[in-house]
A and B are shown apart, each in its own frame.
Chain A
Amino acid sequence: MRQRVSMTINGTNYEHEVEPRLLLVHYIREQAGLTGTHVGCDTSNCGACTIEMDGHSVKACTVFAVQANGSQLLTIEGLAQGTQLHPLQQAFWDEHGLQCGYCTPGMIMAARQLLARNPDPTEKEIRMGIEGNLCRCTGYHNIVKAIQAAAKVMGEGAERKAPATAPSARRD
């Protein structure tokens, strides 16, 4: 039996009728049309589908859409303010914290939770903090550097302007 669900994603309300077995990651990508959240392993290992649900990072491949009924969600598309990237996005850009980029949205969402709980992490704490996110290019070195750089910027409370070469993070 289909169920009506309603949830807020990045400040916009979405309402649909869904099968109870629909996974949240498929709801976000196919019903809400927000394809920044990726499906990687589909077994709750790789973290490519990491989003925030009511303030907690979750793997959207291991949550049913009906469980998110009434929730506030944040996905990678909700981080930038217009053309100004979030400090984590900017740091991944500056430090080249990606190779193929497939894991990047999940990495950034996981890093956001990590820095919210521990604003000044050590390198080891960063590596442990992103243990739920796999980079199959094995580009961890620059990912860790990017998170360190973002922690510094966010700690200073600095509002950095995105350079003119940075792409808009908003979908048209």
Chain B
Amino acid sequence: MIPAAFDYVAPRSLPEAVADLVKHGSEAKVLAGGHSLIPLMKLRLSTPSFLVDIGRIQDLSYIREADSHIALGALTTHHEIEFSELVKARLPLLQQAAAQIGDAQVRNRGTIGGAAAHADPNGDFPTCLLALDAELIAVGPRGERSIKAQDFFVDTFTSALEPAEILREIRIPRPPSASSGTYLKFSRRSQDWAIVAVAAQVSLREGRVERVAIGLTGMGPRPLRAAAAERALTGKAVAPDALREASAQAADGTQPPEDLNGSPEYRRHLAAVLTRRALEAITGSK
């Protein structure tokens, strides 16, 4: 499968890349790892006439701990996140999600910024970023701006990025020490996208749930938060009944899609079961 012809530049800096995007308008696409874009181009579902390859821009691949947050450069690969000791220790939810994306070869090329900008409702990282209250830093012709994850994922394959904006960094608030998370993904075959996945992060204080965030993959046109389940569990003492009651509400308010993998009812069931398993795994209560 041969993509439609296009012109290609590989700028060395973000301002140059933004200028290229401004110049070529809606005909241009940003190429990062290319593991979402290139397959779409080969199927000619996407036919940009101009590609701006940001892969040669220095200093866009890093994982750093700052005072208030952990910063990931937009070109940090899934592999780098999967194998990062810092991410494993501080953001196990993100590390587990990274390890379950695609396969080793895909993880060597795919980037977190590309996955976020692609805004696939069945993608793993968008849900994690939503559950972790991430901020996404974009650079455009009018300078830099920060977009909260809850505002970033707008619709299926649609993010809040303007056409000439490029993601530069993703900032994840540092979870408190008594906080942990997990990512549970259900699919029928290795390599597959999630049918449903759950990203859960729980902060405990004196045996009670101080804060809980539950993100859902595959339950709608964009990543969602299980707001009813979160409300049901916040402030509760950790106990099997409380986890079960909250989990049963995981799919409340969602309208999951129907496809070959399953019905909306099947997805609602998966969301509840995966949420319960995630909460049990994090709190050790069963």
Interface residues of A (CB under 8 A from B): 1, 3, 19-21, 23, 42-45, 47, 50, 56-59, 62-64, 66-67, 69, 110, 113-114, 117, 128-129, 131-133
Cβ of B266 < 8 Å from any Cβ of A? no
CB <8 Å contact, B5 and A47: no
Would you give the shortest CB distance from B5 to chain A, in whole angstroms? 6
A56 to B7, CA, bound (A): 27
Q: Given the known inter-chain contacts A20-B51, A132-B191, please indicate yes or no for A57 contacting B105, CB distance below 8 A.
A: yes
Tell me the complex Cα distance, A50–B5, Å.
24
Interface of A is mostly: mixed
Which residue of chain A is the closest to B37 with respect to CB atoms? A62
Q: Contact: A47 with B105, CB < 8 Å?
A: yes
Contact A21:B104 (CB < 8 A) given known A44-B35, A131-B191: no
For chain B, residues 95 to 126, give those with C-beta under 8 angstroms from any C-beta of chain A: 102-106, 108-109
Cβ-defined contact, A43 with B39, below 8 A:
yes
Mask, B176-200, CB within 8 Å of A = 1, is: 0000000000000011000000000
20 other A-B residue contacts (CB within 8 Å) besides A64-B31, A132-B104: A20-B7, A21-B6, A43-B39, A45-B191, A57-B104, A58-B105, A58-B109, A59-B106, A62-B39, A62-B106, A63-B34, A63-B38, A64-B8, A64-B34, A66-B8, A66-B53, A67-B34, A114-B104, A129-B104, A131-B104
Residue among A44, A57, A63, A133 with the highest chain B CB neighbour number at 10 A: A44
A57 touches B108 (CB 8 A): yes
A20 lies within 8 A of B104 (CB): no
Interface residue tally on B, bucketed by range? 20 to 34
Q: Is B66 an interface residue (CB 8 A)?
A: no
Contact of A132 among B10, B34, B83, B105 (CB under 8 A): B105
Q: Which residue on B lies nearest to A44, using beta carbons?
A: B39
Kindly state whether residue B2 has any CB partner on chain A within 8 Å: yes
A20-B51, A45-B191 known; A56 vs B108 contact (CB < 8 Å): yes
User: Do the beta carbons of A110 and B10 come within 8 Å of each other?
Assistant: no
Distance of A128 Cα from B7 Cα, bound (Å): 38
Q: Return chain B residues, CB-CB under 8 Å to A42.
A: 1, 42
Pick the contact of B8: A3, A50, A57 (CB < 8 A).
Answer: A3
